[in-house]
Amino acid sequence: MTGARAEEHISGVNTGRSGRGEGLRSAAIYPARAAARAWRGPLESAAEEILSTPEAGRVLDAALAGPLPEELARSLARHRVLERVMQELAEAGELERLVGVALDSPRSVELVDRVIASDAFRAALERSLSGPELHAAIASTSSGLAEQVAGSIRSGGARLDMRISGPTPAEFAGVASRGLALVVDGLAVAGLSLLLGGAVGVVSSLVGGIRPHSLAALLLGAGGVIVAVGYFTLFWSTAGQTLGMRLAGVRVCGPGADGRLSAGRAVVRTLGLALAIIPCFLGFLPALFDSRRRALPDYLANTVVRYDAD
């Protein structure tokens, strides 16, 4: 017998043995399978009967009262069962579908409406809106925004001063910053004059009006002058800066060591401001060439306008 035929003979013998082994195993486990199929129904019925007995309930209750639930929860967390289930639902798109179904459900809308209409939700909302934390947050945000805007305005005015009058001397405010302050102060004076005129108009209407009209116009003009003089005199002699100067970041300083202005010097500077404005603001031209950027009001009152260090 050749080598090839020997190998085929051995392979056939092994194949035959393997087939006979499989057949013997199948024949051996066939009775067990047949018995399982025959006893499946009775076994299920017996299991249901055992589980429905009070004894099984007591065993389950004792198991739940012990450490089994905690161990089960720790095992679920340790093996990240919930995370894997949620990830699988999200990847399959089932989670999005379930959330959409829950949100579109009429019961969900009804539940949200009931929560919003409840007294507890209203009380919680009122406590949140009236709480000091919310007020502090709003105040902090508002003040921060205002400071940011004011800082941008001040830096822009200082850069414009340097372009117009040059970089030196850097401590004295130029015409750009002073002009910005004057515009804001003019709006403030106009607003105060308007309020004063409205109050005078209401009072005069109660007594039948002011006659003649020229007298009324004269009184209104005088009132505007008084408001303007009082506005600048009051702020310059007390705070050293008006509202506009505060926004522009500049301050008027006197010749003294503390730089404060007396009421008389503030009045003189106010009159000098009016004289500088009347001839088309020509009284501010010296600030373009003066070494300390002084204008006509500063010459008359012996003052300077500096950038506010604060």
Tens-level pLDDT at each residue, the chain (310 residues): 454 454 444 444 454 445 555 555 555 555 555 555 555 566 667 666 666 777 767 777 777 788 878 888 888 888 888 888 888 888 888 878 887 887 778 887 788 888 888 888 787 777 777 777 666 766 666 666 677 887 888 888 888 888 887 766 678 998 999 999 999 999 999 999 888 878 777 777 766 666 666 766 777 788 888 999 999 999 999 999 999 999 999 999 999 888 899 999 999 999 999 999 998 899 999 998 888 999 999 999 999 999 987 6
Q: Are 224 and 185 contacting, i.e. CB atoms less than 8 angstroms apart?
A: no
- 180, with CB counted inside 10 A (0-12, 13-18, 19+), is buried
List Cα–Cα distances, 285 to 131, 232, 306, in angstroms: 54, 21, 17
What per-residue confidence (pLDDT) applies to 111? 81
Q: Rounded CA gap, 183 and 252, in Å?
A: 16
Per-residue confidence (pLDDT) for residue 41, from 0 to 100 = 63
What is the rounded (10 degree) CA torsion for 151, 152, 157, 159?
110
DSSP for 164-193, please give it.
HH-SSSTTB--HHHHHHHHHHHHHHHHHHH
CA distance linking residue 40 with residue 18, whole number of Å: 32
CB 252 within 8 A of CB 304: yes
CB-based contact 248:177 (threshold 8 Å)? yes
- Residue 84: alpha-carbon gap to chain centroid: 35
Upper half-sphere CA count for residue 214 (Cβ side, 13 Å): 0
Residue 115 has what pLDDT? 80
What residues have CB less than 8 Å from 266, skipping those under 6 apart? 232, 233, 236, 237, 301
pLDDT of amino acid 236: 95
Quickly list H helices, the chain. 3-51, 54-65, 68-78, 81-92, 94-104, 106-117, 119-130, 132-165, 175-206, 213-238, 243-248, 263-277, 296-301
Structure tokens at 89: 């639902």
Structure tokens given for 90:
């999200």
Query: Could you give the CA distance from residue 218 to residue 231 in angstroms, rounded to a whole number?
Result: 20
Amino acid at 185: D
Q: Which residues contact 223 (CB under 8 A, 6 or more apart)?
A: 193, 196, 197, 200
And the tokens for 91? 């990847």
Q: What is the token pair recorded at 284?
A: 């501010």
**DSSP 8-state code for residue 162:** H
- Cα–Cα distance for residue pair 181/76, rounded to 1 Å: 69
**How far is residue 253's CA from residue 149's CA, in Å, rounded to a whole number?**
25
Helix axis angle, 106-117 relative to 94-104, nearest 10°?
Answer: 60
Strands (E), the chain: 250-253, 304-307
CA distance 88 to 81: 11
